Structure 1
Amino acid sequence: MTLDHLGPRICIMGPSNSGKSTLAAAIAHAQALPVVHLDQLHHLPHTDWVPRPADEFAALHDAAITGAHWVIEGNYSRLLPQRLERATGFILLDIGTVASLCRYLRRCWIEHDRRGGLEGGRDSVKWGMIRHIAVTTRTNRRRYEQQFRAVGLPKVRLASAHALADFYRLNGLSRRRRGSAS
């Protein structure tokens, strides 16, 4: 499926460290859409991932989805109904656990200025996050799959790193940052 089929308001979900932020940034660049990283709305900037008060996050989320065009990435299932009500397309990333763990370690040790990162924050290896990726994600994957089946929007499920790479190629997307040689 091409991006044109997904419309001007694309919702991306999937496990932690599956590539949601990178994909959202690539789509935003290719389609000239504003990108919204829900982790940045959920957490206070210049902290070590301290959450905002729930009502403040919900207000920021709801304001972000009022736009006519956007690509939004992140889960936060309690706010999903209103997001899906506004979305025109849905992408589920379902990259494997080992790949997600590798992405997490790379972002903590190598990619300090990553897409979707917290302003003024720096990712560091946390055992809680490793446990979340390795253990909690199994339950979340089942929930994401159920949500995917229930979504009545144009949708695409990218169930492997190979499928994700194919999607990038099919849609002329690039993982590179603008002005980056890597």
Structure 2
Amino acid sequence: MNDLPDLSTFGRRIMIVGPTNAGKSTLAVAIGAKLGIPAQHVDLFRHAPRTDWVQRPDDEFEALHLAAIAEPEWVMDGNYSAIMPARLQRATGIISLDETLWRRYWRYFGRTLGERKAGALEGNRDSIKWAMIQWLWRTRRSGPKLRAMAEGTGLPVAVCRNERELDRLYRAWGLTLPLA
């Protein structure tokens, strides 16, 4: 992470992108608390509550996403390339996270086997899934692509490539880790 822009330059509609388990949801909650704006998690639009991550129908997912981005202010974590263009049109700033694959696996197993993560489904019954283990592997190189997308928008961008840089961002912006 090079020069870190002040949080105030990101406006009131902030996107957080990055690979699965890079810390997006936790950061969204921390920024939302700091700025007093709603933290929105795209995973919660995609998956039905009180399930083991069962996907909603596409039209319902898209409608929930469109309603959320129409709001005047939000900090929203998640990718989902099919719906990202609409979010990019409304965003006023982007934070791009990345993390090593081993650390992302560590977070996945930790949140699934015990600690409740920010952005978890209401009444969620999570379990270790072979599909998620494979997804983490398949997306192991998605961080640079998402970072390039963010940097190409012309919006204010902050980039954290690892946990050390993310910790620096938390300190610089006076953010507090949310309680699980």
Q: TM-score, normalised by structure 1?
A: 0.92
Match of 2:130 in 1: 127
Specify the code of the residue in structure 2 equivalent to 1:141: G
Q: How does 1:60-75 map to 2 (within 5 A)?
A: 60-75=64-79
RMSD: 1.3
Q: State the distance in 2 between where 1:167 and 1:145 align.
A: 16
Measure, in 2, the Cα distance between the counterparts of 1:7 and 1:65: 14
Q: 2:32 aligns with which of 28, 31, 53?
A: 28
Count of residues paired in the alignment: 176
- CA-CA distance at 1:139 after TM superposition: 4.6
User: Secondary structure of the equivalent of 1:77?
Assistant: coil
Matched, 1:103 2:107: yes
Distance 1:176 1:36, change over 3 A: closer
Give 1:2 deviation, angstroms: 2.1
Structure 2 CA distance for aligned equivalents of residues 171 and 50 of structure 1: 35
Amino acid across the alignment from 1:156:
A
Q: How does 1:153-168 map to 2 (within 5 A)?
A: 153-168=155-170
1:29-88: per-residue Cα shift (whole Å, max 9, x none)?
A: 000011111101111111111111101111110000011110000011111111011000
CA shift in 2, pair 1:164/1:139, >3 Å: closer
User: Do the aligned residues in 1 keep the contact of 2:10 with 2:94 (CA within 8 Å)?
Assistant: yes
User: Which ranges in structure 2 are unaligned for 5 or more consecutive residues?
Assistant: none
Length-normalised TM-score, structure 2: 0.93
Match of 2:148 among 134, 146, 149: 146
Identity within the alignment, %:
44
User: Which AA in structure 1 matches 2:129?
Assistant: K
**Consecutive unaligned residues in structure 1, runs of 5 or more:** none
User: Does structure 1 conserve the Cα–Cα contact (< 8 Å) formed by 2:41 and 2:78?
Assistant: yes
CA–CA separation in structure 1 for the residues paired with 2:140 and 2:20: 11
Whole-Å Cα distance in 1 between the matches of residues 61 and 150 of structure 2?
Answer: 24
Deviations 1:91-149 (A, max 9, x none): 110111111111111101120x321001111222112111211x211353343133123
User: Counterpart of 2:34 in structure 1: which amino acid?
Assistant: A
